[in-house]
Chains A and B, each alone.
Chain A
Amino acid sequence: QSALTQPASVSGSPGQSITISCTGTSSDVGGYNYVSWYQHHPDKAPKLMIYEVSNRPSGVSNRFSGSKSGNTASLTISGLQAEDEADYYCSSYTSSNTYWVFGGGTKLTVL
């Protein structure tokens, strides 16, 4: 069982917006602004999409945005495109001796 909780799957039609949630505790997501999100297409390298809750690395589309409220972080993808179909993982710093914790991943299907 992963430390952070994500929905197993979400789906949306092209052009729509979807939101993926990531729920932790006050020891990780809720206690620090160190949430990051990764996109993973099968057999490819995972890609950083959001860091420190809401920052986008250079080159990442502004259709991707991140936010946090309490112990839950969210990744929103607007204007869904077929290429967005992938697995998405959240991660957070944790005050435990593990330092980094991840969610179980969410499979995004673009209908």
Chain B
Amino acid sequence: EVQLLESGGGLVQPGGSLRLSCAASGFTFSSYAMSWVRQAPGKGLEWGSAISGSGDDTYHADSVKGRFTISRDNSKNTLYLQMNSLKAEDTAVYYCAKHPRSRWSSYWYFDLWGRGTLVTVSS
């Protein structure tokens, strides 16, 4: 079955760190770019980070740049998001999402999503 399964969410104090994982199955993981998209409570979706299929190209939104790092291990079919210096406004459900090609340019949509993992930043 083609699916994405996020894990690693939880409660963390402001200034703390957390690493999210997204396990992919049912498709050739290394052939597709991946992204992290988040949804704060009561808000809309917000794209945060993207990585190419090979992992040689990454891109982060200004809201997370310098604090979050996206990476992938194609041998483990797993996507990661290392989140440092967390703030209360980072509280959200984090979704991993698959792009339709190995690079995101010219294909500006997400064709597969996971169910998400909740990150709560609070003291």
Complex contact B115–A44 (CB within 8 A): yes
Task: Give the residues in chain A near B61, CB-CB below 8 Å.
Answer: 98
In the complex, number of A-B residue pairs with CB atoms less than 8 Å apart: 67
Cβ-defined partner of B45 (8 Å) among A32, A47, A89:
A89
| Interchain CA distance A92-B61 in the complex, whole Å | 15
Per the bound structure, the CA–CA distance linking A54 and B116 in Å amounts to: 27
Q: Which residues of B contact A100 (CB under 8 A)?
A: 35, 37, 47, 108
Taken together as a complex, chains A and B put the C-alpha atoms of A105 and B41 apart, in Å, by 12
A-chain residues with CB within 8 Å of residue B43 when the two chains form the complex: 2, 104
Q: Is B95 an interface residue (CB 8 A)?
A: yes
The answer, among B44, B47, B59, B109, for a CB contact under 8 Å with A52, is: B109
For residue A105, give the distance in angstroms from its CB to the closest CB of chain B.
Answer: 5
Interface size class of A (residues with CB under 8 A): 20 to 34
Instruction: From A44, A89, A98, give the contact of B44 (CB < 8 A).
Output: A89
Within 8 A of B (CB), among A70-111: 89, 91-93, 97-105
- Residues of B in contact with A, size category: 20 to 34
Q: A97-B62, A99-B104 are in contact. Are A48 and B109 (CB under 8 A)?
A: yes
A48 and B114 alpha carbons, distance in the complex (Å): 12
- Shortest CB–CB separation between residue A26 and chain B, in angstroms? 16
B32 within 8 A of A: no
Report yes or no: B62 in contact with A102, Cβ–Cβ below 8 A: no
Inter-chain CA distance A104–B45, complex, in Å, is: 7
> A34-45: contact bitstring with B at CB < 8 Å (1 yes, 0 no)?
101010000111
